[in-house]
Structure 1
Amino acid sequence: MRIADVDVAAAARLPADPSRSAMLALLLDGRAHPAGALAQAAGIGRPAASAHLKQLVGAGYLEVVRQGRPRYCRIARPEVATALESLAAIAPSLPVRSLRQSSAARLRATARTCYDHLAGPAGVLLHDALRDHGQVAEDAVTPTGVSCFDALGIDVDRLRRGRRPLLKTCLDWTERRPHLAGALPAALLVAFTDRGWTVRRTGLDGAPNGRQVEIDPAGWEQLRDWLGCSAGCHRR
């Protein structure tokens, strides 16, 4: 499909609004959030937030999740998150207005999530290492990769049968270089977290809270050992 055959302006119109952009940015942590939290993130009232959310749901950017009477919104499909991350890669930076914002940006700069997969310098390192060591080639998993991922309990054949693309590149908005997206990178982040190699901050409900991913020195060593590049992969 050519860009000339689709209405790019229509797709970009909704995220172009600052309030909707702020709500979408919060939803990039992969969670479902209530309207009140999204209104707070955008700095607007509940009625205005509800109007914005109605437009985003109607356009297929978001979907509504019900848990009893409460209603939550979340990103409807991974392609929406990929598009937002790509827009961020060419967008100007906002001014840092507080020490809290500065600290949060510094922590996210090392490793963070892009929807449900690893991003930031750690995500780019993973992309490069998997390609350099032959686990993936282009947007495909090699036989070596199948064995490597199986060691983490990841069934590549099962992921291939799913509706979501197994593997694709996503332009990282801080690094201006690609990290990996798709069903496999999402499964990898779960596997890394289950083993304690990466740590995601959680709320009182135990669910991930925000996009920050922490990797301590021991976690880096475990990741490099698994990748088979202990001597060649370095933290930034």
Structure 2
Amino acid sequence: MEFLDGLSAVQIAIALVATLASAFVRGLTGFGMAILLVPILALALSPVEAVLVGNGLSLLIGAIELPRLVRGAERSAWTIGAVCLLATPFGLLALAATGADLARLIIALIALSAFLAILLPRRSAVQPGALATGGVGLISGLMTGYAGMPGPPVVPYYVGRDLPRETTKTSMMLIFTIAGGAGLISGVLTGVMALELLLLSLLLFPAVIAGNRLGERASGTVSDPVWRTLVGMVLGAAAIAALLKLL
């Protein structure tokens, strides 16, 4: 495959290790795969390619978990997912029109924004109104297309509320699955999706399955306060790492 021939063995190895680690974080916290993985992939691929590979992996892992996600997710996840689906193409068009260096900077800043948002005071479990919920979906869709990261507005929406951990995790995972599909569809519609990117996603997918299962096992061994602390640590580490790579 000519596309993969353009990647060195070291780059592929780094992508596999990054995929395994980011999938572990997904299984542990319910999010984080795209936030951690896309900035690393963007160092070896173009930003558009990195985003589309991240979307492909999110869709693949979410698809095999779909029955559990549908049962456990809050109803708001469907609203956010639907709005995200509509907004994603506009984010991808903006990414395609942005220079690679600027896109990498914006992707790093998006990771930083997620960390800052999680520091806001914790709220009650009451679902926010339609305007706030729709706004989360809109921003999530734009970020899905532009950075392959639907999480920054979604994580504070759920983790910042006093919800059961399983509801929080399944709601976020369902949205990220929808966002992954939206990203791929947008890539096809805008003409930037390539078969080689799907093949690379399939190559990395076994590492996603392995990392995700390990993360889920670890998640069952930690208390809820520890889990919420880990969520903040993951977001902070992702933001710092993305910014350091730019420097």
Fold agreement, TM-score > 0.5: no
* TM-score, structure 1 normalization: 0.30
Mark the structure with the bigger radius of gyration.
Answer: 1
User: Which has more helix, going by share of residues?
Assistant: 2
User: Which has more strand, going by share of residues?
Assistant: 1
- Greater relative contact order (Cα 8 A, min sep 6): structure 1 or 2? 2
